């Protein structure tokens, strides 16, 4: 098990998780497919989507909650099973009973994505102090 700041926080809060190594690339691909289906390949290139998936929100291609609104929306979302993954790492986690996770659990994590297993909503904490966090839910 890889020890990270996040896994230490989850452990201290008694939130059970499973590390699923090497799922990061796969989950980034599914995230892109599920949340950017209306965006052309040319547009994805223009907004540097493959550098940071969250550019979908920072370039306002999809309207998402931002800052405290995003944190509140995430905290109030019914969370069952979720995937947690990073932009630049293959490390990924699953949290089976995610009802107790909150935005503050991820505040020290850069370029981290939390998504329900049905890919209906996502919460993203970026490495930029002026951009994000973001919460988006499909309508």
Cis preceding-peptide flag for 133 (omega within 30 of 0) = yes
pLDDT value, residue 21: 81
Token representation of residue 66? 């931002």
Task: Check whether 2 has a pLDDT greater than 90.
Answer: no
Domain ranges of the chain: 5-137
pLDDT value, residue 30: 98
CA distance to 18, 41, 80, 110, 132, per residue, from 96 (Å): 8, 34, 7, 22, 25
Residue 90: CA atoms inside 13 Å, Cβ hemisphere, count? Answer: 5
Task: Check whether 3 has a pLDDT greater than 90.
Answer: no
Task: Write down the mean pLDDT value for the chain.
Answer: 95
What value does the mean pLDDT take over residues 3-31? 92
């Amino acid at each position: 098990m890889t020890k990270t700041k996040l896994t230490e926080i989850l452990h201290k809060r008694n939130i059970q998780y499973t590390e699923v190594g090497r799922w990061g690339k796969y989950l980034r691909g599914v995230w892109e497919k599920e949340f950017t289906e209306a965006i052309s390949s040319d547009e994805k290139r223009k907004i540097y989507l493959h550098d940071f998936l969250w550019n979908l929100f920072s370039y306002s291609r999809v309207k998402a909650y931002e800052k405290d609104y995003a944190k509140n929306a995430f905290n109030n979302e019914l969370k069952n099973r979720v995937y947690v993954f990073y932009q630049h790492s293959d490390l990924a986690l699953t949290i089976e009973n995610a009802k107790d996770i909150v935005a503050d659990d991820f505040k020290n994590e850069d370029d981290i994505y939390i998504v329900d297993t049905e890919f209906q909503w996502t919460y993203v904490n970026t490495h930029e102090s002026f951009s994000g966090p973001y919460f988006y839910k499909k309508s």
